[in-house]
Amino acid sequence: MATLPQHTDDLLVSSNFIRAVRESGYVSLSTALAELIDNSLQADASDVAISIRRPSSNDFPQIEVEDNGTGMNPSELAACLRFGGSSRFDQRTSFGRFGMGLPAASLSQARRVEVTAWRPGGRARSVALDVDVIAAGTPVNLTPRDGAAGTSPSGCRVVWKECDRIEYRRLAWLERALHRDLGRMYRRFLADGLTLTINGAAVDAIDPTFLTTSVEGHTARLAFEPRRYEIETSSGDTAFVTVRFSMLPVHYWHSLDNVTKRRVGIVSHGGVSILRAGREIASGWHLMGSKRKENYDDWWRCEIEFDPILDEHFGITINKQGIRPSRTLREALEPELESIARLLNGRVRQAFEEAKFQAEAAASCRIAAAADPDLPVIKGKGRDKGALSYRIGSAPLPLDTMLRSELKHRTLDVTLNIDHPAFAALYRPLQAMEGSAAADLRTALELFLLSYARTTLLLGQDSDEMLRAWSAAYGRMLQRS
C-alpha cells in the first residue's frame, strides 16, 4: 500500500514542478506580461514602463517592468513569488484571484525573476526565483534583501532574466507585437489616462470596435443601444453582462486597399472581444450560437464585458486567457446574439450592395451635374447657392414610395427604395444585360430619375404628394404587369 505524504514538501518534486510551471499555458509573451500589468493596476499605478534589451548579442533578452504603484511591504514581498501567495486569494473585485499570476507568468518566459518593491520612507527590498536553483532541489530563500528603488516615491519592479521562451529573433518585431497586443488588451485604461511605455515609446489604445478609432476621418457607430443580461452568480447574487455591437462605415472604408484594411484591423480582426474588469482576455468568435463567421462579419464588431464575480460562468482559468462559457451563460446570451449577428451580416451585405450601386451610378451623376448650370435655378439659403451635384443610392424605404430625394449643401441625394416593385423592374433587366447598351440604358434611366427628383424639388410643397401618388400608381401597374 502506498504511503501518503506527511509534509507539504513531500507533495512536490521540485524539478518536475518547475518544468510544469514553465508550461503553464501562456499563449504569448503579451499574455504573460499582462499578469504583471494587472498587478500594477491593482496597486493603483498610473505609469507602467516596460524595457526590453539583450545584455549582449548572444544573450537571451531581459525584460523589466516598473510601475509607480503603492509597492509592497516586506511580508507582501516575501509572499509575491510563492505560488498561491496572495492576500486577495479568490477575491472577485479586480484582476487577480489565485496568487499564481506573477510567479507562473514570470517562469513561463524567463529562467530567473527578481522583484523589487519600495514605499515612501522605507528601503527598497528584493526577492528572486531561479529555475535552475529550484530544479536542482536547492531550498529557495524568499526573505527580502536590500535592493535599488526606482525614480517614483513608491512602486515595484519585476525583472525577467534569460527569457529563453521568446520566439522573436529581432526585438523590434517583438516591440511591434507588444504595442499591438497590449494596446488592445488595455485600451480602456489607456483611454482613461494610464501611461504604458515600451522602451520609452507610448502604447496607444487600439479599439477593435472602432467606436473611438478614426480611419480616414470616420469611426464606427453603435448598431444598437448596449444590451445588459442579468446572470445569477455562484453565491446566489446577480451581476450583469454588457454587450455592445458596432457597425463599421462600409460606405467610407470599402474602397480602402487591402494592405490598409489589414494594417488598421478592418479585415481579419472581426468578431467578439471579451473584457473582464475592463481588460480584454479573449477575442474571436464567441457566444454566436450556430452562426458561422463570414467575410462580411469583419464589418461589425461585438464587445462583451463582465465583472470577475461571473468568472465561473465564463470559465476563467488561472492565467486569464480565453473563455469556456457555462450552459447558463450560453442559454442567456446566445439566442439573441446569434439573431443580432445574422441581422448585422445582412446589413453589411446591403451596405456593400449600396456602395457598389452608388459607384456604378457615378457616371449618371456626373452627367446631371454637368447639365445643371443650364437648368432653372433651385434657390438655397444663405451661401447655399450655385449648381447642384448629384448622388444616387439605394436603401429600404417605406413601401408607399419609390424614391426619396433630399437637398443637402447643393447635393441632390436620391435614394431608390429597394423594396418598391420599381427597383426590381427597372434594375433587374439591366443586370442581365452586358456591354455598352446596358450602360447607356442605365444612364438614361438614372437621368430620368434624377430629372424627376429635381423637378419635384423645384415645384416645392406639393412635390411629396405627387411623388407618393406617382409611386403608388407605378407600383400598382407593375404588379399587374
Q: Domains of the chain by range and CATH?
A: 8-202 (3.30.565.10), 221-350 (3.30.230), 361-480 (no CATH)
Q: Phi-psi bin for 97: left (phi > 0), alpha (psi -120 to 50), beta? A: alpha
Secondary structure (H, E, C), 91-134: CCCCCCCCCCHHHHHHHHHCCEEEEEEECCCCCCEEEEEEHHHH
Q: Which of 38, 53, 29 is nearest to 106 (CA)?
A: 29
CB 453 within 8 A of CB 365: no
Q: Which of 352, 455, 355 is nearest to 407 (CA)?
A: 455
- Cα angle 253, 258, 262 (rounded to 5 degrees) comes to 90
Percentage of residues of the chain with pLDDT beyond 70: 88
pLDDT at 477: 76
pLDDT at 20: 65
Residue 8 has pLDDT above 70, yes or no: no
pLDDT at 202: 97
Instruction: Report residue 469's pLDDT band, with 50, 70 and 90 as the boundaries.
Output: confident
Residue 270 has pLDDT above 60, yes or no: yes
Q: Report the greatest alpha carbon distance in the chain.
A: 105
d(C-alpha 327, C-alpha 341), whole Å? 20
User: What b/e sequence results for 372-395 when a residue is b if at least 16 CB atoms lie within 10 Å of its CB, and e otherwise?
Assistant: beeeeebeeeeeeeeebebbbbbe
- Residue type present at position 480: R
pLDDT at 268: 79
This prediction's pTM: 0.80
261 or 86, greater pLDDT: 261
Residue 122 has pLDDT above 60, yes or no: yes
Residue 429 has pLDDT above 80, yes or no: yes
Instruction: Report residue 229's pLDDT band, with 50, 70 and 90 as the boundaries.
Output: very high
2 or 462, greater pLDDT: 462
Q: What is the DSSP string of 256-287?
A: S-HHHHHHHTSSS--EEEEEETTEEEEEES-S
pLDDT in tens, 304-323: 999 999 999 999 876 667 78
* Torsion sign, CA atoms 79, 83, 84, 86: positive
pLDDT at 396: 84
Range 225-247 average pLDDT: 93
Residue 15 β-bridge partners: none
Residue 15 has pLDDT above 50, yes or no: yes
Instruction: Report residue 292's pLDDT band, with 50, 70 and 90 as the boundaries.
Output: very high
d(C-alpha 388, C-alpha 373), whole Å? 8
Cell of 186: 488595455
Residue 210 has pLDDT above 50, yes or no: yes
CB 191 within 8 A of CB 103: no
467 or 232, greater pLDDT: 232
Residue 428 has pLDDT above 60, yes or no: yes
Instruction: Report residue 267's pLDDT band, with 50, 70 and 90 as the boundaries.
Output: confident
**Lowest-confidence segment of 121-125, 182-186, 289-293, 428-432 by average pLDDT:** 428-432
d(C-alpha 445, C-alpha 274), whole Å? 49
Residue 332 has pLDDT above 90, yes or no: yes
**Lowest-confidence segment of 75-89, 93-107, 390-404, 466-480 by average pLDDT:** 93-107
Cell of 276: 473582464
Residue 3 has pLDDT above 50, yes or no: no
Compute the half-sphere exposure of residue 28: CA atoms within 13 Å on the CB side of its CA.
16
pLDDT at 7: 45
Range 376-400 average pLDDT: 80
Residue 299 has pLDDT above 90, yes or no: yes
Residue 461 has pLDDT above 60, yes or no: no
pLDDT at 478: 72
d(C-alpha 111, C-alpha 221), whole Å? 46
CB 283 within 8 A of CB 225: no
User: How many Å separate Cα 96 from the centre of its chain?
Assistant: 23
Residue whose C-alpha cell reads 399587374 in the numeric block: 480
pLDDT at 207: 95
Averaged pLDDT of the chain: 86
Range 233-252 average pLDDT: 92
CB 160 within 8 A of CB 106: yes
86 or 166, greater pLDDT: 166
384 or 250, greater pLDDT: 250
Residue 410 has pLDDT above 50, yes or no: yes
> DSSP alpha helices (H): ranges in 43-92?
74-79
